[in-house]
Structure 1
Amino acid sequence: MIQLLTPTHWKDYELIDCGDFEKLERFGNVILIRPEPQAVWGKVLPQSEWQKLHHIKFKGRSATSGEWVKKNPSTPDRWHIEYKNPEIAIKFRLALTSFKHVGIFPEQAVNWDYSSQIIKKFKTPQPKVLNLFAYTGGASLAAQAAGADTTHVDSIKQVVSWGNENQELSSLSNIRWVVEDALKFVKREVKRGKKYNGIILDPPAYGHGPNGEKWKLEDHINEMMQDVVQLLDPDEHFLILNAYSLGFSSVIIENLIKGAYPRVQNLETGELYLQATSGVKLPLGVFGKFCKM
């Protein structure tokens, strides 16, 4: 069944409006304007309202980099926000990066909810969870806070260090931090006969490993899925595959999962979106997830 899912527990995040290839967002008390390639429609709120509300705007020099322009120089470059659902409470340090990101993808809270609920229901004490392409660790924090033994893998040392900061902010400990190419790590774990109760993947469209390895989603995701399902514990497991790529649909995700794991149970696929206060919906990727308990 194809679903449309949006986070419901955010207090510290709000998508206020989006359109004309931009989005107006509140992270805690800070309101940002950032580019958004999916927002091909017109803005709902008038431009004057956007100008009045925002504190900082990202102005791009290219498709991937730019600078932040503050209305008030005293507005902080770094600040903290919190996420809570009935199972967990985690915190994040946000920052203004040159790539228009701030250290979190708010729509992923839907997947944090799913993983934390499943982990709490597992009979396995301290189930093992693997988070691949893990960025600053939202999914890792959620799994650890729910009681998992979590391994966090990303190829960029700076974002892994950022994730460790978020762990400390969240009063958590003992996440295993790994700076490595995700596909290489998975192949090594398969050879070692390792098993995990939960696996989370949020691969980029393009990426590079720490030693120059190249990742291209459409070229490598099937190989990754064929390998990663070999790591699933046969008795209790879940898997989440998330993809933010303009060319990917939830049907592609369904085919990838069924092709790699024909005996899949409880498969759900669909699209993640953020509901703007102004009324419009912003699509932000497709997902597939399944569990066995």
Structure 2
Amino acid sequence: MSRTYRHCLEYKKGLIPPRTEIFRVIDGEGEGYPDVFVDRLGDRILVSTRDCAVPVNLGKELAELDVPVFHKRLEQNQKEAPVQIAGPILPLQFEAEEQGVLFRLDMSAGYSQGIFLDQRDHRRRVRERSRPGMKVLNTFAYTGAFSVYAALGGAQTTTLDLAQPCLEWARENFRLNGIDPSGQYFCKGDVLHWLERFARQGRTFHGIILDPPTFSRDDRGRVFRVESHYGELVSLARKCLERGGWMLCTSNCRKLSHSDFRRMVEAAAPGARLIHDPMPADFTGEDYLKRLWVDWK
């Protein structure tokens, strides 16, 4: 039986860390709404649906809250921005807090609004693993959320992404948290190319985050598919890792099973200790996110 939004909101507030206003309220079947996902993003609400409409009862309840409500169809082009369906008109760009860390979010952006909610616990652990004197590489960095957390832990970060607007967005996130981006590194380009370059240069890191898209193609036409090439990515990154360092290996590819993902990482990281941790407590539905901490002694 589906629960009301208000009921789910109060329940989820008891599960998330303090000073967090970015979290999942309704996670599909976990709350009795198959293929419907509702996220709280500060004082805005994002409803995402997969091959279905917004349930009538849920849409009516959300419309009565007097907050901006947006809808995104997951079966359509993932780059399409959400459409506002209820509530007052507020600026599309705004700031919101996660675990005491500020991020700029953008309801006019396609693909994502600036942060991936299912990585919240990993971001906290990256901060806990980072300290002064460490170097952390954040690949496929998007808006640099992992980089911000690592820098708050004291590490010097390298933020790597193919899109220049994402790197500028990451710089803004640093500034929001009182971190001078000029003291950090930013690299634009293909991750595999940069990892090869870092290895040739002998440039190493104490921590590396690997969270690639499920599919990509570089400017040379080389195709990357997570289910086929994730092990290659780990092998390349391993060459850039300091002895005693760590990697965070994750993927949201639903075609890839947890066991196959682990086998790929194990084959590319022989002798490493692998740690699998749970999904965030507000994600009560499908266990889709593959995630492993890889530690070398």
Under TM normalisation by the shorter chain, which class is it?
Answer: 0.7 to 0.9
Contact 1:206–1:216 (8 Å) recurs in 2: yes
Instruction: Deviation per CA, 1:63-91: give whole Å up to 9, x if none.
Output: 4225412424522201101222xxxx421
Instruction: Deviation per CA, 1:20-39: give whole Å up to 9, x if none.
Output: 422122111112212358xx
* Partner AA of 1:250 in structure 2: H
Q: Which residue of 2 aligns with 1:219?
A: 228
Q: Secondary structure at the match of 1:228?
A: helix
Contact 2:43–2:68 (8 Å) recurs in 1: no
Contact 2:227–2:253 (8 Å) recurs in 1: no
Residues 274 and 155 of structure 1: is their aligned pair in 2 closer, same or farther, counting only changes over 3 Å? farther
What stretches of structure 1 of length at least 5 have no aligned partner?
1-5
Aligned-pair CA distance for 1:197: 0.4
Aligned-pair CA distance for 1:10: 5.7
Aligned-pair CA distance for 1:56: 2.3
Residues 178 and 249 of structure 1: is their aligned pair in 2 closer, same or farther, counting only changes over 3 Å? same
1:258 aligns with 2:266: yes
1:192 aligns with 2:207: no
Q: Which residue of 2 aligns with 1:80?
A: 95
Query: What TM-score do the two structures reach when normalised by structure 2?
Result: 0.81
Measure, in 1, the Cα distance between the counterparts of 2:258 and 2:202: 30
Query: What TM-score do the two structures reach when normalised by structure 1?
Result: 0.82
Q: Which residue of 2 aligns with 1:177?
A: 186
Measure, in 2, the Cα distance between the counterparts of 1:56 and 1:212: 40
* Partner AA of 1:254 in structure 2: R
Q: Which residue of 2 aligns with 1:55?
A: 68
Instruction: Deviation per CA, 1:155-186: give whole Å up to 9, x if none.
Output: 11111111111111111122211111000000
Contact 1:273–1:284 (8 Å) recurs in 2: no
Q: CA RMSD in A?
A: 2.7
Residues 72 and 52 of structure 1: is their aligned pair in 2 closer, same or farther, counting only changes over 3 Å? closer
Structure 2 counterpart of 1:105, from 100, 116, 120: 116
Q: Which residue of 2 aligns with 1:3?
A: none
What stretches of structure 2 of length at least 5 have no aligned partner?
1-14, 28-32
Residues 274 and 75 of structure 1: is their aligned pair in 2 closer, same or farther, counting only changes over 3 Å? farther
Instruction: Deviation per CA, 1:107-151: give whole Å up to 9, x if none.
Output: 21111122111224xxxx420111111110110000011011110
Identical-pair percentage? 21
Contact 1:107–1:284 (8 Å) recurs in 2: no
Q: Secondary structure at the match of 1:172?
A: coil
Measure, in 2, the Cα distance between the counterparts of 1:105 and 1:231: 26
Contact 1:241–1:289 (8 Å) recurs in 2: yes
Structure 1 counterpart of 2:165, from 118, 133, 158: 158
Aligned-pair CA distance for 1:98: 4.8
Residues 46 and 83 of structure 1: is their aligned pair in 2 closer, same or farther, counting only changes over 3 Å? closer
The number of residue pairs the alignment matches comes to: 271
Contact 1:199–1:238 (8 Å) recurs in 2: yes
Higher relative contact order (CA 8 A, sep 6+): 1
Residues 188 and 91 of structure 1: is their aligned pair in 2 closer, same or farther, counting only changes over 3 Å? same
Contact 1:34–1:100 (8 Å) recurs in 2: no
